[in-house]
């Protein structure tokens, strides 16, 4: 029987394939991904695909269907099993796999799930995902033939490689970890046995129901348990992961959140001491403080598009040893492999803190203080969101605005900057603004609101400030 499969129109995203299990995502979709992606690997001359899955309740069934589809395409599947997404990236790299697929819902609600892919060592996103959808829809796959499956337990090797890059000083840290019941649980337990410090792990058991709190460390309420534990125990630092541990959250010794762009400044200073003049990449949502401080530390700051896939691709193009996003993705190509790995980032952060002559909170306070909005996400139909950005950008260009159009529009003024971009993954627009003063921030919000109104879009709710 000929193969052909149509995906739900909402499931093929810019950076991955994902949906709501039982509604827009089913095991038959997972089989189709395995069958089609396996064909793409085979046609490119590849023979092996590494496959892993996270701790969501639906992941084992989806992984099994994915493997069946890949095997039917004649490839060998290296079955890595349950673990964090970066463990699959690591397995794919060290085993020289021709492709890799991770079954993960990342930080999304428990009833969501999805697939992240790598082809020939490069991120698989954008046009390649659309190509996969087109190939599946018309049944354009290699003839069915029996491949094979090999189970690979790489957890010990991964944890050992993470621990190998510990570079702390004599200071012994007290560390609280919040696994958030995510997929890093078993690897984290092994890692803390191999690096110095007094370790406390919260929510270490992998549980796809996420009973303690939602596993998204960029939302302050999800860090409340970690913050309380750091303060109660007098810890030096607290570290949290999202559901598949490719994003990190950090709180300092006072239990205050260290936002991703602040963390990246400290990491950049550390990396640039050994690699002066290197490029450091951050996404368009990051604070101007980050770009300024990278320059002051002797680096070359580079603003780039949001999204882990374009950031990774840009790192390869520029040779950047370090990159990060406001969403908590931190990418090291300095002694590491260039992919986003919150466990590895944690090791490097801890090493940096252990070498500090002061506390992490004191280091945070060396950064210029800014006021900003949080990342504001508000509804806008997929068919319209990019047209809104084009309209605003064209009008600003006519007005001679100082702006960047790398990803949406980021407008600079004497008060600071504001950003408006279209989400690549949802029917939403994204906005943010930052100033040195509250008065300046109000003027920036008014300028952003005026542009949205001229484009026929209601302004977002600016309630609640960022950092």
- 220 dihedral zone (left: phi>0; alpha: psi -120 to 50; beta): alpha
d(CA 402, CA 112): 40
Contact at 8 Å (CB) between 280 and 333?
Answer: no
d(CA 279, CA 222): 32
- 280 dihedral zone (left: phi>0; alpha: psi -120 to 50; beta): beta
Contact at 8 Å (CB) between 201 and 177?
Answer: yes
3-state secondary structure of 71: helix
Environment class of residue 212 by beta-carbon count within 10 Å: exposed (0-12), middle (13-18) or buried (19+)?
middle
d(CA 310, CA 466): 25
Environment class of residue 332 by beta-carbon count within 10 Å: exposed (0-12), middle (13-18) or buried (19+)?
buried
* Residue burial 10-45, b: 16+ Cβ < 10 Å; e: rest: ebbbebbbbbbbeeebbbebbbbbbbbbbbbbbeee
**Whether residue 260 lies in the annotated active site:** no
Q: Which of 106, 309, 327, 423 is catalytic?
A: 106
Query: Which residues are catalytically annotated?
Result: 106
């Amino acid at each position: 029987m000929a193969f052909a499969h149509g995906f739900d129109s909402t499931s093929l995203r810019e950076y991955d394939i994902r949906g709501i299990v039982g509604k827009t995502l089913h095991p038959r979709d997972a089989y189709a991904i395995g069958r089609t992606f396996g064909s793409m690997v085979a046609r490119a001359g590849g023979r092996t695909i590494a496959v892993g899955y996270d701790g969501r309740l639906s992941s084992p069934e989806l992984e099994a269907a994915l493997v069946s589809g890949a095997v039917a395409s004649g490839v060998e599947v290296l079955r890595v099993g349950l673990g964090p997404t970066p463990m699959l990236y690591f397995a794919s790299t060290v085993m020289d796999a021709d492709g890799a697929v991770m079954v993960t819902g990342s930080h999304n609600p428990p009833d969501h799930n999805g697939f992240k892919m790598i082809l020939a060592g490069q991120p698989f996103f954008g046009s390649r995902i659309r190509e996969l959808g087109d190939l599946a829809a018309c049944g354009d796959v290699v003839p069915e033939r029996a491949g094979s499956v090999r189970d690979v337990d790489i957890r010990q090797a991964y944890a050992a490689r993470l621990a190998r890059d510990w570079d702390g000083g004599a200071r012994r840290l007290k560390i609280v970890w919040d696994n958030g019941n995510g997929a890093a649980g078993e690897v984290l337990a092994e890692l803390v046995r191999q690096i110095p410090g007094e370790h406390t792990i919260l929510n270490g058991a992998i549980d796809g129901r996420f009973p303690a709190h939602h596993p998204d460390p960029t939302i302050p309420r999800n860090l409340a348990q970690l913050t309380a534990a750091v303060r109660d125990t007098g810890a030096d630092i607290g570290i949290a992961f999202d559901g598949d541990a490719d994003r990190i959250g950090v709180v300092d010794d006072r239990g205050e959140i260290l936002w991703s762009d602040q963390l990246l400044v400290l990491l950049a200073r550390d990396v640039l001491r050994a690699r002066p003049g290197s490029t450091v990449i951050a996404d368009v949502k990051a604070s101007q403080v980050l770009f300024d401080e990278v320059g002051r530390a002797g680096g070359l700051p580079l603003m780039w598009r949001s999204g882990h896939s374009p950031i990774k691709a840009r790192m390869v193009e520029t040779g950047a040893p370090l990159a990060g996003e406001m969403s908590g993705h931190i990418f090291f190509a300095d002694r590491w492999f260039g992919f986003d790995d919150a466990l590895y980032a944690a090791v490097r952060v801890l090493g940096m803190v252990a070498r500090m002559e002061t506390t992490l909170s004191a280091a945070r306070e060396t950064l210029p203080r800014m006021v900003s909005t949080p990342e504001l996400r508000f509804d806008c139909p997929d068919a319209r969101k990019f047209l809104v950005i084009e309209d605003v950008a064209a009008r600003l260009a006519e007005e001679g605005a100082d702006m960047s159009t790398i990803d949406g529009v980021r407008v600079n003024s004497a008060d600071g900057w504001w950003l408006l971009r279209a989400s690549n993954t949802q029917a939403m627009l994204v906005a943010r603004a930052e100033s040195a003063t509250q008065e300046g921030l109000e003027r920036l919000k008014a300028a952003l609101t005026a542009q949205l109104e001229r484009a026929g879009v209601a302004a977002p709710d600016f309630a609640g400030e960022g950092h």
